[in-house]
Amino acid sequence: MKWVCPRVIRGNRGDLLSRQGILQALLARGEQDVAVFALTDAHVPAALRPVLPYGPLYNLVPPPPGRQALRRADTVLWTGGLDLQDDSSLAKLVHTLAVFSSYRLLGLRIIAVMQGAGPLTTTAGRWLTRHILNRMDVFIARDPKTLALLAALRPRCQLVLAHDGIFAGDPLAEPLSAREAERVQHLVGAETRPVIGFNLRLWFHFASSLLPYQFVKWRYRARSEDRMRRLIDAAQAVIGELRHTHRARIILLSMYEPGVEPWEDDLPYLERVKQSFAADSDVQIAGAPLSLRAFAELIRRLDLVVGMRLHSALAAIRLGVPAVHLAYTLKGHDIFAALGLADYVVAVEQFLQSPSVLSDVITRALAQPALRNQIQHLADCTTRENERIFQGVLDRCLREKH
C-alpha cells in the first residue's frame, strides 16, 4: 500500500511523539512507502525520506511535491492529536471537513489513527463531526469516552478502540548525540534526591466560536489571565513544598518546541513560575532546543512528571515514569481511568482551591518504590495491545483493497 501522512503538527511535542510511534509501528510492519508532511526532517523517523513541506491554510493547499504524493497514495493516515472538538472554535472542524473532502475527491481511503475527540457541545459541532467521520473509513479512538461520543453520532465509518499513539513504537529508538546527552545530564543533575518534571499550559481561554484562538489571541488570553495567575500561584506553592519537604529538583517542561508556535508555547507561564525561584538553581526551565529523542531521554531520567498537558503525562507513562495529570477537561480523567491510573489525576479546579491536594498525590507516588516498575509494565502491555489493534486494522484494509 502507498501511505501519506498529511496532518499538520507544528512544534507540539505530544502530537509529534504520538505520530512518531504510529510511524514506527508502520515501519515495523515492513511498510516503507510512506510520504510524511512535517516541519523538519527531525520530526520523522530517519527511514522515511524525503519529508514533505506543509502548504498554506494548514496544508489544505499542499505544495507541488505534496500534491504529487497525495495523487500517488491510496491511504491517508491521520495521526495523533485531537481535531474533532468545538470548545475552541468551529473553524477547525470546517477545515478538517474541507481537507477530508479533498482527499475523497482524490479517491483516498482515510484512517484516523489513535485520536481523541470532544468536547462536542454545539449542534453545529456535532453535525460537522458526523460529516467528517462519514468521509473516513476507520477511526481508531484513543479512549473509551471518545469511542462512545463518536458512536452516538452514528457515523458510517468503522470505530475501533485503542490507546493514544504515544503507546506505539519506541521513543528511544533514534540515536542520542553526545551533545544532547550532556544537555540532558546538566538539566537532571547528579543528585540522588527526586527529580520532578512540572508542566503547565495556557487554559481557561477557550470558548466555542467561529474564529480560532490564533486569530484573536488577545481576547482569549485576556479571558484566561485571572485564573492563569491563580494557577501559577498554586504551582509555585506546590513546588515550594516539594523543595522544602522532599528537597526535589524541579524541571519545568514545555510541551512545545521553543520558537515554533510562541502563541501556544507553555514557556511564558513556566518563566512566571520560575520568578519565585529566581535564585534557586534546583528549579530549572528546560528551555533550550531538544530533539524528540533528547526530550524523551529527559523524561526517562525523571522520577515523576506532573503534567497539565495530557501528553506530558502520557509521555512519562510511556517511558516508565510515574505521572500525575493536572486535568483541565474530562479527557484526562477518562484516559487515566482507562489506564487504571484514576488515583493520579487532580482536577485543575480542585488544585486551584487547594494546592495541597496535588502535593499529597505527589508525595504518595514518591513513597511507592514499586510504582515505577508497575508503570513500566503498564506501558509495555499498552504498547503491545495498541500495535496489535493497529496491525489488525491495517490487515483488514489490505484485504478490502484486494
Taking the C-alpha atoms of residue 231 and residue 168, their distance in angstroms, rounded to an integer, is 33
Contact at 8 Å (CB) between 195 and 189?
yes
Q: Do 333 and 395 lie in a common domain?
A: no
* pLDDT of 373: 98
Contact at 8 Å (CB) between 335 and 329?
no
Tell me whether the omega of the peptide bond preceding residue 63 falls within 30 degrees of 0, making it cis.
no
> How far is residue 118 from each of residues 129, 149, 166, measured CA to CA in Å?
10, 7, 19
Q: Do 10 and 146 lie in a common domain?
A: yes
Asked if the model's pLDDT at residue 402 lies above 60, the reply is no
Q: Do 317 and 297 lie in a common domain?
A: yes
Cα-Cα-Cα-Cα torsion 330, 236, 248, 201, nearest 10 degrees, comes to 40
- For 306-320, how does the pLDDT look when each residue is reduced to its tens digit (9 = 90+)? 999 999 999 999 999
Q: Is residue 372 part of a domain?
A: no
Q: Do 147 and 227 lie in a common domain?
A: no
Q: Is residue 373 part of a domain?
A: no
Taking the C-alpha atoms of residue 365 and residue 324, their distance in angstroms, rounded to an integer, is 9
Q: Do 97 and 73 lie in a common domain?
A: yes
* pLDDT of 52: 98
Strand segments, DSSP code E, in 86-226 are 109-117, 138-141, 158-161, 195-199
What lies within 8 Å, CB to CB, of 54 at 6+ separation is 8, 10, 37, 38, 39, 62, 63, 66
Element housing 5 (H / E):
strand 3-5
Q: Is residue 88 part of a domain?
A: yes
Q: Is 76 helix (H, G, I), strand (E, B) or coil?
A: strand
Q: Is 307 helix (H, G, I), strand (E, B) or coil?
A: strand
Q: Do 40 and 85 lie in a common domain?
A: yes
Taking the C-alpha atoms of residue 301 and residue 283, their distance in angstroms, rounded to an integer, is 16
Q: Is residue 377 part of a domain?
A: no
Q: Is residue 49 part of a domain?
A: yes
**Lowest mean pLDDT: which of 100-109, 208-217, 222-231, 279-288?**
208-217
- For 165-223, how does the pLDDT look when each residue is reduced to its tens digit (9 = 90+)? 999 999 999 999 999 999 999 999 987 899 999 999 998 755 555 566 666 666 667 77
Please report the sign of the dihedral spanned by the C-alpha atoms of residue 379, residue 381, residue 382, residue 384: positive
Q: 53 is in which domain, residue-wise?
A: 3-170+383-401
CATH for 95:
3.40.50.2000
pLDDT bucket at 89, cuts 50 / 70 / 90? confident
Q: Do 214 and 362 lie in a common domain?
A: yes
> Total domain count for the chain?
2
Mean pLDDT of the chain: 94
Q: What is the mean pLDDT of residues 2-12?
A: 97
Q: Do 194 and 84 lie in a common domain?
A: no
Asked if the model's pLDDT at residue 296 lies above 80, the reply is yes
Q: Do 200 and 326 lie in a common domain?
A: yes
Would you give the distance in Å from CA 334 to the centre of its chain? 15
Taking the C-alpha atoms of residue 111 and residue 38, their distance in angstroms, rounded to an integer, is 18
Burial 129-160 (b: 16+ CB within 10 A, else e): bbbbbebbbbbbbbbebbbebbeebebebebb
Q: Do 217 and 363 lie in a common domain?
A: yes
* pLDDT of 217: 66
pLDDT bucket at 324, cuts 50 / 70 / 90? very high
Taking the C-alpha atoms of residue 193 and residue 180, their distance in angstroms, rounded to an integer, is 23
Q: Is residue 32 part of a domain?
A: yes
For the record, the C-alpha cell of 297 comes out as 531521554
Contact at 8 Å (CB) between 383 and 389?
no
* pLDDT of 24: 96
- For 134-149, how does the pLDDT look when each residue is reduced to its tens digit (9 = 90+)? 999 999 999 999 999 9
What lies within 8 Å, CB to CB, of 332 at 6+ separation is 310, 313, 325, 345
Taking the C-alpha atoms of residue 51 and residue 53, their distance in angstroms, rounded to an integer, is 7
The strand pairing partners of 325, in sequence order, are: 307, 345
Query: Considering only CA atoms, which of 106, 95, 105 is closest in space to residue 59?
Result: 95
For the record, the C-alpha cell of 11 comes out as 512544534
Q: Is residue 199 part of a domain?
A: yes
> How far is residue 156 from each of residues 90, 134, 137, 153, 386, measured CA to CA in Å?
22, 5, 8, 9, 23
Taking the C-alpha atoms of residue 327 and residue 386, their distance in angstroms, rounded to an integer, is 23
Contact at 8 Å (CB) between 316 and 322?
yes
Q: Do 316 and 262 lie in a common domain?
A: yes
- For 238-276, how does the pLDDT look when each residue is reduced to its tens digit (9 = 90+)? 999 999 999 999 999 999 999 998 888 999 999 999 999
Q: Do 197 and 160 lie in a common domain?
A: no
pTM above 0.85, yes or no: yes
Q: Is residue 376 part of a domain?
A: no
Q: What is the mean pLDDT of residues 230-240?
A: 98
- For 46-73, how does the pLDDT look when each residue is reduced to its tens digit (9 = 90+)? 999 999 999 999 999 999 999 999 999 9
